[in-house]
Structure 1
């Protein structure tokens, strides 16, 4: 059976999201035994070494002189978001943290308005507002459900927004160079913190760490392939499959069952994200057609 570019891109995107959710599971498994700083450092240093080695073997450029400051910003933002996401995943139910992380794409739209001066209509503003209402349903301020750890994935989504907006300006450097520089500068920033938390790693933890690193790199590679196979506007909604995987893994591996309000909040966030994506596609189509 021959897949169309859209089908191939969707399949690669879902596979990539599955790998990233699997990485989150590994992080949650390790997080109570190994410091988060160590997990983040191991992830980035492995990414830098493996992707960098591939670029050297294929005689590609490792560093881009044209956007180096933006790559430094991307490295700082992705390091910060990784710390915060992993902390949220470790100390919150997997589905709850993942649902809050899904605010990222909606916040990118909001950030594009505030930073890049892009214009959005009333309907997309309503979609963004709905996503934040969904987040409040999960966090539930003023109730016993709300914890300090709820803010980790929320602030992680802010850092991710900075990373995503900066990435828009470095596309001309190519995905592989951008992936290497993400790992390189992520290693630089995480190396400033990890010495204060480093501890010996037990031998039985090595397979889990190896799986975390492998899932993280494979997930990024699959997503790169997905965006190469089909337009980003066609496959972006498939990224929300990560929430479904998180609910399944949370239930099967950690005996976590989201309550009704959490599910309602997650549905609002995903629904709002899909609606904002739909409105953006309509706007792009209108601009293209004149």
Structure 2
């Protein structure tokens, strides 16, 4: 597992690392809250209500930058990102209905490896033999977690793997959208997921209690807080420095799963995690060596 401490070499980036860790922790808490709520409410209404809350929070900035939001340089690529985002969020909530949170998060830990593999055909980037070896070893870790036998290969596991693949595609598309500001990306994302959720409401709706409505709205608030932390973190420290700390979220997810649902990670999950994390860390540090960071 990636440590959450700050070593001497990275001491100057301490505030950025801490904010990144806080942001990833908030995302993990947000995922746990979503798993709790998806047991009672439809995926569509969760998407709708969390998006409303998030849009309300960022509305002052949206109003001030409204003209800029309408003048996107790559509208079709932004639309593709929104479609991928809607599918990925829905896949995540569907997956956590049938799997422990830490299991689903394990599949998502493979996303950086998928990005490395997909960046060759989709972005034209060059990947050396060492990083290819790390990617292949990481996918062995995914197979360990997936346990591809007739008895163990569950629909929820396949949905989680599909969600992780979609997430990696989102990261690649976001790389291509460097000219679109963070406010634009978040606004399009929340509008897209909100509209997709609204489209399902006439077919499936469970009226939430007052307390659950607060929790549903809290999903949007926590997600916005996480985005703010990550954006600020990346302005204080290079991405190559903070990125490995995302692996600490699997520890948080496992702790939340044990405390709330009594989920205990299986040996396959632990071994698969170690393989995936070791491969991902090698890819990150290899990229830092190549870029001289």
Per the normalisation by structure 2, the TM-score is: 0.90
Q: Distance in 1 between matches of 2:203 and 2:117?
A: 36
What corresponds to 1:183 in structure 2? 190
Q: Distance in 1 between matches of 2:181 and 2:89?
A: 22
Q: Distance in 1 between matches of 2:188 and 2:231?
A: 15
Distance 1:193-1:206 versus aligned 2 partners, 3 A rule: closer
Contact 2:106 2:273 in 1 (8 A): yes
Give the drift of 1:195.
3.1
Tell me whether 1:262 sits opposite 2:269 in the alignment. yes
Distance 1:65-1:132 versus aligned 2 partners, 3 A rule: same
Q: Distance in 2 between matches of 1:27 and 1:168?
A: 27
Equivalent of 2:44 in 37, 44, 48 = 37
Give the drift of 1:237.
0.7
Tell me whether 1:118 sits opposite 2:125 in the alignment. yes
**Structure 1 residue matching 2:68: 3-state secondary structure:** coil
**Structure 2 residue matching 1:163: 3-state secondary structure:** helix
What corresponds to 1:281 in structure 2? 288
Instruction: Work out the number of aligned pairs and report it.
Output: 284
Tell me whether 1:196 sits opposite 2:196 in the alignment. no
Contact 2:50 2:218 in 1 (8 A): no
Q: Distance in 1 between matches of 2:200 and 2:106?
A: 28
Give the drift of 1:5.
5.2
Q: Distance in 1 between matches of 2:21 and 2:150?
A: 35
Q: Distance in 2 between matches of 1:140 and 1:45?
A: 38
Tell me whether 1:213 sits opposite 2:220 in the alignment. yes
Q: Where does 1:216-231 land on structure 2 (aligned, <5 Å)?
A: 216-231=223-238
What corresponds to 2:159 in structure 1? 152
Q: Distance in 1 between matches of 2:128 and 2:253?
A: 32
**Structure 1 residue matching 2:149: 3-state secondary structure:** coil
Comparing 157-166 with 19-28, greater Cα deviation is found at: 157-166
Distance 1:107-1:198 versus aligned 2 partners, 3 A rule: same
Give the drift of 1:67.
1.7
Q: Deviations over 1:51-86 (max 9, x none)?
A: 233232577733332122111111111111101111
Equivalent of 1:136 in 131, 137, 143 = 143
Give the drift of 1:162.
1.9
Contact 1:75 1:189 in 2 (8 A): no
Structure 2 residue runs of 5 or longer lacking an equivalent are: 1-9
Equivalent of 2:257 in 250, 255, 277 = 250
Contact 2:82 2:188 in 1 (8 A): yes
Q: Distance in 2 between matches of 1:156 and 1:52?
A: 29
Q: Deviations over 1:85-136 (max 9, x none)?
A: 1122222011111111111111111111121111111111111111211111
Q: Distance in 1 between matches of 2:93 and 2:82?
A: 16
Tell me whether 1:61 sits opposite 2:75 in the alignment. no
Tell me whether 1:83 sits opposite 2:86 in the alignment. no
Contact 1:63 1:177 in 2 (8 A): no
What corresponds to 1:15 in structure 2? 22
**Structure 2 residue matching 1:33: 3-state secondary structure:** coil
Structure 1 residue runs of 5 or longer lacking an equivalent are: none
Q: Distance in 2 between matches of 1:153 and 1:78?
A: 14
Contact 2:21 2:246 in 1 (8 A): yes
